[in-house]
C-alpha cells in the first residue's frame, strides 16, 4: 500500500503543550493497522507541494515563534494547505496554527495581519489568558461525542458564516469565552485550541483524520479496522467525569 503522507508544519517552532503527541498518535494508530505512514517535517524556507500531502498537522507556539512563522507560511504554504484541503486532504491545527489558518489575526500591539484563509475565522487579543481543562460536546461525523483537552491562550477567535464550530464548550473558554463554541471545521480540516495533546485523549478523532487521509490517498472511501480502545476510552471517560465535577472547573492546571 502506498503510504499516507503526513506533513508536520514547523515542528521546531510550533509544537507546545504536547502537540507533537498528535503526530505520534497518528503514526502509532496507523502502524497498529499495518497502514504505512510517512512524516515529512517542513519549516521556514521549505516548500509544501499540495499534491504530495494527505494530512497536515500544524501545532501551536508562543507569540514570538508565531511572528517568525507567519511571513513564511503566508508566502507559499498557506495556499498549498488550502489547495490540499479543497482536493480532499485532512488538517488538524491547534492554537497558533489554527489562528494562522484563519482569515486574519491581530497582534497584541493592534496590527491586523492576514491569515491563510482556510477557516472563516478572525482572531484578536483578549484581556485575559484562558488556562485549564476543556470539555467539548460535538456531533462531528453525525454521532454525539465528547472531546477533552487543555487550553492555554489569550486570543479570542470568532467564527464567520462559512465555517462551523467543532463543538459546544461544556467546561472551558473555547474559541473566545463568549459564544460557547470551540474550534472550527471546514471540509476535512479541523482547527481548535485543544492542546494536551489532543489525539491520545480522543482516539476516535485520530481515526477520523486517518480515514480522511487514507481516502484522499486511495481516491475512494475507506473504513478503518477497529482497534481495542478500551483503555483509551476508560481514560477518556474518567477525565471527562473529573472535568465535569465542580473541582474540575478550577482552571489551575492540566490533569
Catalytic annotation, residues: 95, 195
Residue 128 vs residues 34, 59, 156: alpha-carbon distances, Å:
45, 22, 10
Could you tell me which of 119, 120, 48, 46 has the C-alpha nearest to residue 79? 48
Q: How far apart are CA 38 and CA 27, in angstroms?
A: 8
SS3 of residue 147 by DSSP: strand
Question: E-assigned strands of the chain?
Answer: 4-9, 37-42, 55-58, 90-94, 104-106, 112-114, 121-138, 145-159, 167-171, 181-182, 184-186, 189-192
- Label residue 144 left, alpha or beta by phi (over 0 means left) and psi (-120 to 50 means alpha): beta
Burial state string for 140-170 with b = 16 or more CB within 10 A and e = fewer than 16: beeeebbbbbbbbbebbbebeeebebbbebb
- Eight-state DSSP code of residue 219: T
- Please tell me the number of Cα atoms within 13 Å of 50 on its side-chain side: 14
Q: How far apart are CA 196 and CA 148, in angstroms?
A: 9
- Eight-state DSSP code of residue 52: G
Could you tell me which of 97, 99, 174 has the C-alpha nearest to residue 136? 174
Amino acid at each position: 500500500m502506498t503510504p499516507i503522507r503526513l506533513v508536520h508544519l514547523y515542528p521546531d517552532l510550533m509544537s507546545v503543550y504536547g502537540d507533537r503527541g498528535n503526530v505520534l498518535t497518528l503514526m502509532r494508530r496507523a502502524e497498529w493497522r499495518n497502514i504505512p505512514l510517512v512524516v515529512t517535517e517542513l519549516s521556514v524556507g521549505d516548500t509544501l507541494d499540495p499534491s504530495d500531502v494527505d494530512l497536515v498537522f500544524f501545532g501551536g507556539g508562543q507569540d514570538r515563534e508565531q511572528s517568525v512563522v507567519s511571513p513564511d507560511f503566508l508566502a507559499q504554504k498557506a495556499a498549498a494547505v488550502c489547495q490540499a484541503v479543497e482536493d480532499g486532504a485532512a488538517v488538524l491545527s491547534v492554537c497558533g496554527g489554527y489562528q494562522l489558518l484563519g482569515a486574519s489575526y491581530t497582534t497584541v500591539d493592534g496590527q491586523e495581519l492576514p491569515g491563510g484563509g482556510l477557516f472563516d475565522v478572525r482572531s484578536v487579543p483578549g484581556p485575559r489568558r484562558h488556562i485549564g481543562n476543556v470539555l467539548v460536546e460535538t456531533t462531528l461525523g453525525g454521532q454525539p461525542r465528547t472531546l477533552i483537552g487543555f487550553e492555554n491562550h489569550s486570543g479570542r477567535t470568532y467564527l464567520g458564516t462559512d465555517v462551523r464550530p467543532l463543538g459546544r464548550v461544556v467546561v472551558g473558554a473555547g474559541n473566545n469565552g463568549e459564544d460557547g463554541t470551540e474550534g472550527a471545521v471546514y471540509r476535512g480540516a479541523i482547527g481548535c485550541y485543544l492542546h494536551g495533546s489532543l489525539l491520545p485523549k480522543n482516539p476516535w478523532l485520530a481515526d477520523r483524520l486517518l480515514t480522511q487521509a487514507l481516502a484522499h490517498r486511495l481516491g475512494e472511501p475507506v473504513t478503518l479496522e477497529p482497534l481495542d480502545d478500551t483503555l483509551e476510552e476508560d481514560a477518556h471517560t474518567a477525565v471527562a467525569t473529573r472535568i465535569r465535577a465542580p473541582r474540575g472547573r478550577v482552571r489551575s492546571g492540566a490533569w
